[in-house]
Structure 1
């Protein structure tokens, strides 16, 4: 073995990553290796000749290089054993190699032969019960907008058909958002659009969409069908030959039936049993038994119903379209040559844009000249304008109310806060809620069962002379129509898409249907204190000297606290800086997490922190414990300044409660929330005072950051479903452990937007009650939709056998129910604004 071989397992893992042979060369402790293309096992290289070894290495390297690394984000893991389970489940899969799961980062890295194997990985993880999504590093998909889908089965049919094409590596179609993501080889954009058109839908590149989709044009064919249907009815009344009447009906069927018939053909070809298949079979069956009028009216009602359904669903998909359209296409950029108009996509970070009163801010940036009030409602949901001046951040989409501003651009158009909001909302709308996933699985079983039942109804009763073939064939056709679970399948996604879009317009990001459902099921809410229940801007109240004078106390405090960025440190620095003060040189500064800070001043270690910290270095502080405790009972935070020899004194600070916080907590306590809890590192006295003033029921105080995680687990062990509200940074572990992590103040905070399940974009806790209200209303509407869909199906099913149901009534019950389900979901768009 060469001298640079791995001598430990750790080194082995680091240096032996390319392929199995390299590992065997490097690591003598491995007795046997297996070729990645399933060839026979080969002994350690010590047992084979140099020539044979070289040949083996080249062959294996060829195999190894055919794999490319792909990254995925895995959700739902609660311990490192989950990571091991995933690795073991993926390892035996064909076309998959070297799966590695990092539990702490929720990242899966795996070698795949091509994009076509991505589904193999995602489906395996979903079967294990984990959520999975590709990271941006994998995605080379082109996004198309698809028109004409009216239920999830349409999306599946398109997806299955495209995945059969040789040049398509991966196709994913989301019915909820009307978007299609396709990874394909070569310049095949037009081919993709043609293939989708073949199935009876239309696809256009998202970047080329100019919203020229004229919905009224969709009704041209149904209108022509209606005319021929009327001609047929009239001809039967005036006793024209029967073949003329039937010809009118057949033309009506052909005009409106081409689209569903084409869709049905490709659905069957893709081994999918969607509503187009069922309806086409029903219409063809009606023609075969001579029910031409029934066939014509069935196809007409089906076509008109699905068009109305599509238009309604588009309205739910466009629930955040207003967000996308609020930024201007161009901006006025100040250059050496003067002010010029530039497209947003051509503007670089650092350029200066000029925004006049009444205009919208085009890109995120920092004000370098001017003063104005900006309406940030599109981002935060707040209707009250915010005053902004030099050195303050502004966000794309905000409305400049009065002053003229010069803004230095800080983010490209695709990276603005508004762009991230839109992207996150679209991703959230594609994520399935548990209810939706269950219904999708149910419909996959339900439809084939009813299809088989319909065939049995057509054959068995007349075989045993229980009626005529024509009579039972007709009943079977009715069952085929009833087999369409369209209303049931769309009952959940349209409500979720609408609710998430409605919340986004109110400045709340809900990152998926699962989180939307979970919000309404919470029984306890845990609040971080500083910046959540309080304003997060403490103010100095009292200066109390003990063994030093006030000037010396403040100078030492200023010297130490200026090294820290904690809100309490900032408050002390701001207070002292208004007084003529001197500062000392500080060395060996250290942040003592959860206790305070320390540093060396003129050869002496000086500490600034809580009572527990100072007690550990100077026991004389106990003489002042009663006085300090009295301040704490009144709700003050105490910062004591001391060394091992001298207790200089202490500073009391007060962090005011947020406006109307007690009213918000009261509303939560009066709702389904059984317990409201405060988690804070502050002392017990301050915590109890804040809890009393705000209406919080339970307090966990004097917590280190890691203790908040334990507090959440403690609440969960008591049977609570816990939502945690914090800033999304220090509270990240607790946010992750809770059923729903809710971050405050997402505007301007990438960390908050990334870490939490729900983000309140404005720094306003009052958004929380509104968000839970949206969740509860969405859950109620979903239940209403499901019950209504099932009841309509049951009624139709019962009416089939006595002969009370006609074929066209069956169609009307199906499409009518679907339209009513969508309209019921649209009520979520009318959910009131947070601020009135």
Structure 2
């Protein structure tokens, strides 16, 4: 019983509309599966309550519907079987066929030349859309391919009859057939690229599980991958390396860039016994940590699952779109036949015009905008946000954001770059160059990101060089120093000191308790 409760994940290729997903969903539901999630945009199929020994039977059933279950989740079809190649082949034949409307080249107006150009496009379209359409009808779940296939086949058959009986130009619609197939292929290519960029956000997070790590075992350094780390392992992390696992610092101190998780661009100082998170970057320092959370318990794994779960939860508009898509194809086909009947038998329009009106009804209706665009838009939105470090819990959250009146952000490193610049320095009774030299000397004793930014802009002047015999940096306050003559210097937060200058400056420079300069910093948006 426990095995049947485990969620099964499959990678199914060949789905390219909401009806494809609905047909697989219905098949799994009829076979007793629960918690079913099918996303045609990402080729993901998830379900539970199916014993492991029955999975191969379901796989064969899904493939009988006209889809392909890939063995590996990262396995990609070869270029020769890809949708991109099909589109390129169709485009090569469609361009000259379509251009006959704008040129007077006799060869392009020859019906047999047009047939020769259109036939390969139709064959490729039939192998892709036609087979899928027949299988969907056989399984009583007609998909969008039915519309594409009927529209292109009607145009091709009508043109073929006109060519065979030599009925003239008015009976040649080869370019319509080829254009329908090529444009739909183009739409599929663009959609595939959008989804690929979306899912790459999760794939980039997964890559952090394969970063190299150094394990200390019996005073020896052993190299291994992050996914091989076990709880309790002692790990060595050097400056510039990614931290391989969640853990606590045993030795050393360091500055850690946690922007991939928090969005905060400024590195955070970590001391002994502080917690660190796997996947973050150690920008400065060397530490030894003990791994505390690995595998499914790690913060990184939970973020990956959060992103996947957010993408799998359908917002109300997408659920509505799925319901519409289930009835969409039969209704459109019925309307198309009705259009032909009215225009030909009642309005008594010519056969070719009536047929083109019916084809137009099919073409403008496929693919279904609500069934195709809604899930794609949700996935792209969530994926792009995750890639930028913004985690959104589901598509319903995106819908609710449309009603927001106010939004509060953490400014530094979220809306800004975190790379500070000196906007202005105001001095009081001392030369500007001397103040800049003192600031540069004091900040050289700090590894804080703001100190590094200041040092990039200010240079120490030898003639104003001060020899400090003692320098202390107090976290959250500033730098305090004493020179060989007993003078006390400080550069610290403008809120500190006998008087609060924070309404005018960000930092203040003092000598023996007297403010000699105020510094204003700025951060680029």
TM-score bin (small chain): 0.5 to 0.7
Alignment counterpart, residue 489 of structure 1, candidates 346, 371, 390: 371
Alignment counterpart, residue 46 of structure 2, candidates 174, 181, 203: 181
2:94 aligned with 1:221, yes or no?
Answer: no
* CA distance in 2: counterparts of 1:512 and 1:465, whole angstroms: 50
The offset of 1:142, in angstroms, is 2.5
Alignment counterpart, residue 254 of structure 2, candidates 372, 376, 393: 372
Q: 1:242 to 1:449 in 2, by over 3 A?
A: closer
Contact 1:447 1:485 survives alignment (8 Å): no
2:208 aligned with 1:326, yes or no?
Answer: yes
Alignment counterpart, residue 303 of structure 1, candidates 185, 204, 215: 185
2:222 aligned with 1:340, yes or no?
Answer: yes
- 3-state SS of the aligned residue for 1:402? strand
Q: 1:487 to 1:441 in 2, by over 3 A?
A: same
2:257 aligned with 1:257, yes or no?
Answer: no
Q: 1:338 to 1:193 in 2, by over 3 A?
A: farther
Q: 1:227 to 1:496 in 2, by over 3 A?
A: closer
| TM-score normalised by structure 1 residue count | 0.42
| TM-score normalised by structure 2 residue count | 0.65
Deviations 1:534-573 (A, max 9, x none): xxxxxxxxxxxxxxxxxxxxxxxxxxxxxxxxxxxxxxxx
Q: 1:404 to 1:194 in 2, by over 3 A?
A: farther
Alignment counterpart, residue 511 of structure 1, candidates 393, 401, 421: 393
The offset of 1:197, in angstroms, is 6.2
Alignment counterpart, residue 141 of structure 2, candidates 267, 272, 277: 272
The offset of 1:331, in angstroms, is 2.0
Contact 1:382 1:835 survives alignment (8 Å): no
The offset of 1:215, in angstroms, is 10
* CA distance in 2: counterparts of 1:429 and 1:239, whole angstroms: 48
Contact 2:97 2:108 survives alignment (8 Å): no
- 2:9 is matched with 143
- For 1:529-540, what aligned pairs fall within 5 Å after superposition? none
- 3-state SS of the aligned residue for 1:370? strand
Q: 1:422 to 1:213 in 2, by over 3 A?
A: farther
- 2:70 is matched with 204
Deviations 1:681-710 (A, max 9, x none): xxxxxxxxxxxxxxxxxxxxxxxxxxxxxx
2:197 aligned with 1:315, yes or no?
Answer: yes
* CA distance in 2: counterparts of 1:240 and 1:142, whole angstroms: 55
- 1:460 is matched with 342
- For 1:573-722, what aligned pairs fall within 5 Å after superposition? none
Give the aligned CA root-mean-square deviation in angstroms.
Answer: 3.8
- Number of paired residues? 395
* CA distance in 2: counterparts of 1:421 and 1:461, whole angstroms: 57
The offset of 1:503, in angstroms, is 4.2
- 1:738 is matched with none
* CA distance in 2: counterparts of 1:167 and 1:438, whole angstroms: 24
Q: 1:390 to 1:213 in 2, by over 3 A?
A: farther
The offset of 1:258, in angstroms, is 1.1
Alignment counterpart, residue 422 of structure 1, candidates 304, 307, 320: 304
- 1:546 is matched with none
Deviations 1:444-502 (A, max 9, x none): 45544333211111223322362234322221111012222533334433333344344
Deviations 1:301-334 (A, max 9, x none): 2212221222123223334443333343442211
The offset of 1:251, in angstroms, is 2.3
The offset of 1:246, in angstroms, is 1.9
- 2:174 is matched with 292
Q: 1:321 to 1:343 in 2, by over 3 A?
A: closer
- 1:750 is matched with none
The offset of 1:505, in angstroms, is 4.6
Contact 1:431 1:513 survives alignment (8 Å): yes
- 3-state SS of the aligned residue for 1:367? strand
Alignment counterpart, residue 157 of structure 1, candidates 23, 33, 38: 23
Q: 1:297 to 1:510 in 2, by over 3 A?
A: closer
- 1:361 is matched with 243
- For 1:121-136, what aligned pairs fall within 5 Å after superposition? none
2:353 aligned with 1:471, yes or no?
Answer: yes
Deviations 1:237-275 (A, max 9, x none): 338984564244222210233111122122223322322
For structure 2, the residue ranges without an aligned partner over 5 or more in a row are 160-172, 409-501, 504-522
Deviations 1:140-182 (A, max 9, x none): 2332334554443332234345666x79788531245442115
For structure 1, the residue ranges without an aligned partner over 5 or more in a row are 1-67, 70-136, 527-658, 661-833
